[in-house]
Chain A
Amino acid sequence: AQTVTQSQPEMSVQEAETVTLSCTYDTSENNYYLFWYKQPPSRQMILVIRQEAYKQQNATENRFSVNFQKAAKSFSLKISDSQLGDTAMYFCAFMKTNDYKLSFGAGTTVTVRA
């Protein structure tokens, strides 16, 4: 089984500032996918960003970007220009290629302060 570790249970950030969430994972696989999901108080799970392990270029989606360090098995999420609507729990997730099952970390609660 793959292990995904999010070491920060909670983080707080001032509106318009930047926050970085950490995620590490343990795998012996070479091909896999990594994801960040957002779960706001409405509890809907929303895909934020996805990274294919074979791609060296870090994925970016508007204000969200990742720092993917394959050798270190690290996959951090940076939220730039934080907005109040970014307040949510954020989950890092791992999927082996051709396995299709997502393994989730424990989550990091992000609170954006006005």
Chain B
Amino acid sequence: DAGVIQSPRHEVTEMGQEVTLRCKLISGHNSLFWYRQTMMRGLELLIYFNNNVPIDDSGMPEDRFSAKMPNASFSTLKIQPSEPRDSAVYFCASSLIGTDYGYTFGSGTRLTVV
């Protein structure tokens, strides 16, 4: 298995632009988590899905952020419009809830908004 695959690995964009981060889950996993890592706030859960359905989006900072899971293996996190304070490393992780309580993380996307 190739693991959780995130793209792009790095993204530099100008303030006001739309940014889309992508994540491919491990085959057979039923849950997907988006986390954000910053020096100031550490690792924060943004949203998680179970069986393609958003279960908890209380960590999404504001309406500029949206996440979708159009099928069982793929998710996107979109920021529109982006702001410099959105600069962070964004991780997705997948898990097989009900069987295993561990996450497998992707390698993250480092987003820089200038």
Please tell me the number of chain B residues within 8 Å of chain A, measured between CB atoms: 22
Q: How far, in angstroms, from A45 to B107 measured CA to CA in the complex?
A: 7
A106 contact set on B, CB distance < 8 A: 42
Please tell me the number of chain A residues within 8 Å of chain B, measured between CB atoms: 21
A43 contact set on B, CB distance < 8 A: 89, 107-108, 110
The residue on B at minimum CB distance from A106 is B42
Partner of B101, one of A44, A100, A103: A100
Partner of B107, one of A42, A104, A105: A42
Given A43-B108, A104-B42, A104-B43, A95:B48 Cβ within 8 A: no
Interface string of A19-38 (1 = CB under 8 A from B): 00000000000000101010
Is A100 within 8 A of B48, CB to CB? yes
Q: Tell me the B residues contacting A by CB distance below 8 Å.
A: 31, 33, 42-43, 45, 48, 50, 55-56, 89, 91, 93, 95, 97, 101-105, 107-108, 110
- 24 examples of A-B residue contacts, CB within 8 angstroms: A35-B102, A37-B105, A43-B89, A43-B107, A43-B108, A43-B110, A44-B107, A44-B108, A45-B93, A45-B105, A47-B102, A47-B103, A47-B104, A50-B101, A95-B101, A100-B48, A100-B50, A100-B55, A100-B95, A100-B97, A100-B101, A101-B48, A102-B103, A104-B42
